[in-house]
Amino acid sequence: MLKKIPPLISAELLTILAEMGHGDDLVLVDRNFPGVSVAASTVSGQCIQLAGVDTTQAARAILELFPVDTFVDVPVRRMAVVGQPEAVLDVHIDMQQALDAAENRAVTVEAIERMAFYEAASRAFAVVQTTEARPYGCFILKKGVVFD
């Protein structure tokens, strides 16, 4: 056991987060996302499963360790609702609140079309899949720099 590591951060996930560098993308997705098949194309080839947690819970834990990029205008992307690209669902609101609280600033989140999301996810570093039941709980977070 380690001090100050959130309990839901497994050794496998901790390794992935530590191996990532500035500008690498982490995909955090719901239970409906094809995590294993998309992860096969990622840099690490890994899909880390977080059972019993939703994307917001996972994000809060990850964001205790993971800096969000400040060098890009849009450091977080989310999957847009099919047929309603401007829709903002509760899962999106919850993630925005988690991001803003973790970063002590307003973090820009952009919606991208479903197939574009899959393509971007396949180029990421790794996939973290939760058991989030709410649809469209899929996000791509760009890792930033630790300044302290």
Q: What is the CATH number of the domain that holds 104?
A: 3.40.1650.10
Q: Domain range holding 103?
A: 24-142
60 pLDDT above the threshold of 70: yes
Kind plus residue range of the DSSP H or E element containing 63 = helix 55-63
pLDDT at 1: 63
| Domain assignment present for 94 | yes
Q: Confirm whether 92 is a catalytic residue.
A: no
Residue type at position 71: F
118 pLDDT above the threshold of 80: yes
| Domain assignment present for 14 | no
| Domain assignment present for 4 | no
| Domain assignment present for 61 | yes
pTM of the model: 0.96
Helix 55-63 and helix 90-103, axial crossing angle in degrees, nearest 10:
10
Q: Which of 22, 45, 82, 115 is catalytic?
A: 22
pLDDT at 2: 75
Instruction: Report, as an integer, the average pLDDT of 98-113.
Output: 98
| Domain assignment present for 12 | no
- Count structural domains, the chain: 1
Instruction: Report, as an integer, the average pLDDT of 18-33.
Output: 98
| Domain assignment present for 136 | yes
